[in-house]
Amino acid sequence: MKYVKQFTIIAFISLIGEALNHLIPLPIPASIYGVVIMFICLETKIIPLSAVRDTGMFLVGCMQIMFIPATVGLIDTWDVFVPNWIAYTVVIIVSTFAVMLISGKMTQAVISLSKKGEKKNA
């Protein structure tokens, strides 16, 4: 029953994101609205982490399965990709390394700032 309650909370937040997507005429996906709402609710303690933690961990654990339909969908459009496969491969490799580099630098900056904050408070 705990999982049903947690999933209901997550689904309700997603529903609010869908509603905002229809109400606000911006090119932002509904899932982004939902993630931002969930983040705000968790940060402000409107929704305690314990209220969604177990189901959230389950959903993150099986997230790879959600990419299978998109990957299979590429088979239908394979003839579009074949002529430019080298360009797509280069873009994928460069963007992957860019994301890794930026994420690493941002993580280092956050850790550095948190250590400075701890020294000031000590």
DSSP three-state, residue 108: helix
Dihedrals φ, ψ of 9, to 5°?
-60, -45
Model confidence pLDDT, tens digit, residues 68-97: 888 888 888 888 888 988 999 999 999 999
Those residues of the chain that have pLDDT short of 50 are: none
Model pLDDT, residue 122: 63
Model pLDDT, residue 118: 74
> 28 near 21, Cβ under 8 Å?
yes
> 17 near 32, Cβ under 8 Å?
yes
DSSP string of 55-74, one letter each residue: HHHHHHHTHHHHTHHHHHHH
Model pLDDT, residue 106: 96
